Amino acid sequence: MNREESSIFSTSRFYLLIFLLFCRCIQARELQQICSSSCGDIKNISYPFRLTSDPAGCGDPDFELSCQSKKTVLELLSGKYYVKKISYDKRIMRVVDVKLADGSCSLPYKPLSSNSLDNYFYSEIAYGRYYYASFVNCSGNMADNAYIKVPCLSENQSNVYVTTNGISVSNLPTSCAFISMVPVLDENVENPSYEATKKLLQLGFDLTWSIECRDCLAAGGWCLKITTLNENYCYKNLYVKDMVLAVFQLSLGAAVVLLIIGRFVFAPIVLLVFLIHTYRKTLKKVDNVEKFLHNQQSWMPRRYSYPEIIAMTNHFQHKLGQGGFGSVYKGQLHTGGLIAVKMLENSKFSGEEFINEVSTIGRIHHVNVVQLLGFCSEGSKRALVYEYMPNGSLDRHIFSKNGEGLSFSFEKLHEIAVGTARGIEYLHGGCDVCILHFDIKPHNILLDHNFVPKVSDFGLAKFYPKENDFVSISVTRGTIGYIAPELISRNFGTVSSKSDVYSFGMLLLEMAGGRRNSDMRATRSSKAYFPSWVYEQISEGGDLELPNVTEIESVIARKLCIIGLSCIQVKAVDRPSMSKVLEMLEANIEDLKMPPKPFFSSAHEHIARRETESMSSTEWLISESLEECSLIYSFV
């Protein structure tokens, strides 16, 4: 074949390709005309949507619409929504709740979360494009001007209010309860009237559909939306290797299209810009938490979306407490069960804390270990969902306030000690691996409605095989006053399950004394460090000076003190195991032997006496902690 024949052949192939593309466009246009229909104001209903009256081959079954009284209706999650507009190029549908479309007096359907829409639509709500219209019911009048009374739903002493300020819902008074919420478009209206709010509700909100992502998610994949191309791509695994391959495939396909359309002129420039943009978006380092969740998804608790967390906590209305890693809020599941939601703050510790909690409590089911029901991980938003403990933490009950004494009897106190010991023993020997808690203290022992204790807060926990009798850690972990000596200096022994035994011993002494072990407010300087004082009292047969206790309760208190002193021996080898501690708790006091005096007790007593006389409360606590560490190092 000569050069002239080759040129003619290449030209013929090019025109043949153009002709085939033209034929396909005509065929697609004819199919669109056959399947297109209309209903009321919606004049062009075509793929993927179809009316119930359209032929079976038109549209997708999951995107079926109905025409009722010349209005296009979408039925979604047991609710009905009027379709006001469909934008096929942007893949956006504007819908409005049927109950709110005509401005009548009615409440919306239950909230739509992005997680529940994943099989069909992607709600723009999750990306912050909307405010919420929130409805609340109050037994009296609402003083907040951000809330507008709904006259037609308010009668007698029951008043219904609505607000488009979502932040106000988190500060509801006790006389009000959250009812429902519906998204509204951001119209920049501050504190609108009820009539203006009804008009906002009538405008509706947008839903974005994607056939590709629906099929991808149904197959267990991961859907990526490329905004520049308005296309969606499906991946089976979220790994960097797969993403690099996907970038190469997308780049190659884009290069071919640009070469044909741009006739080889603008292709190099456009391809370079596209490659840089796609490379930056897809080659980000995969988050360690998401890696962990992907690898462990077979045994993990349920995963919740962040909008579901907001709905379950009523916009974080009821705060239970504040910890080192975040805040805890009271919530309720859709089944009615109460929960406690721990929101982890966006800090360098939240990722490690999150993985520790999920990997530890997520596979533990024991009556004395708090149960993790679920979790949430969406970018910087991370939450842990626990069973709700109505009686709070142990420290609220054992540390007397204003001389009131303990909240319950010593018999109940003994039951709590036994239950806590069983929970720690299960962590040490009842799982596939040994779990060291490293932060046993009253604040981390929670009590359910029957005052059954449950060990919680596993942010500092570590695992190691059962066949090892020690574990290697790089940094000291725990709370001052409960940390075992070997966690500060290995000269006192190796770090093992005996480190938790030491913390539990300090816990027992505080339970028995109804006070913190180090207390600069003690009436006598000799009592400032409780372990030293209680050892002298028991050794000399003296009284523990507990107010308003019976003889039986006094015996229980002495028993807890003896076991606690056995657990806080300086050398780890001199301490009993948690199994032995449990046997001691269930034995009679006559069967217990008084242990040797803990080596540092006299040092603590000396520090307490000297600092109480010369320092303020804050200085005393700081000095005591620092000198405790220096004393330990001085004997190494």
CB–CB of 317/166 below 8 Å? no
User: 428: which DSSP letter?
Assistant: H
The 3-state DSSP class for residue 463 equals strand
Query: Which string of DSSP letters, residue by residue, matches 140-194?
Result: S----TT-EE-GGG-BTTBEEEEES-GGGGGG--TTEEEEEEEEEE----SS--H
Q: Which residue type sits at 448?
A: D
Distance CA 120, CA 207 (A): 10
Report residue 476: phi and psi, to 5°.
-70, 135
Distance CA 496, CA 488 (A): 13
580-586: long-range pairs with CB below 8 Å, 24+: 581/421, 581/425, 581/501, 581/504, 582/418, 582/421, 582/422, 582/425, 585/414, 585/417, 585/418, 585/421, 585/559, 586/418
**How distant, in Å, are the alpha carbons of 215, 288, 317, 461, 599 from that of 310?**
28, 24, 9, 28, 51
Strands 121-123 and 205-209: antiparallel
Closest CA to 608 of 508, 482, 516, 544: 516
User: 431: which DSSP letter?
Assistant: S
Distance CA 309, CA 289 (A): 18
Residues serving a catalytic function are 439
Closest CA to 513 of 606, 418, 399: 399
Report residue 414: phi and psi, to 5°.
-65, -40
For the chain, the farthest-separated pair of C-alpha atoms sits apart, in whole angstroms, at 118
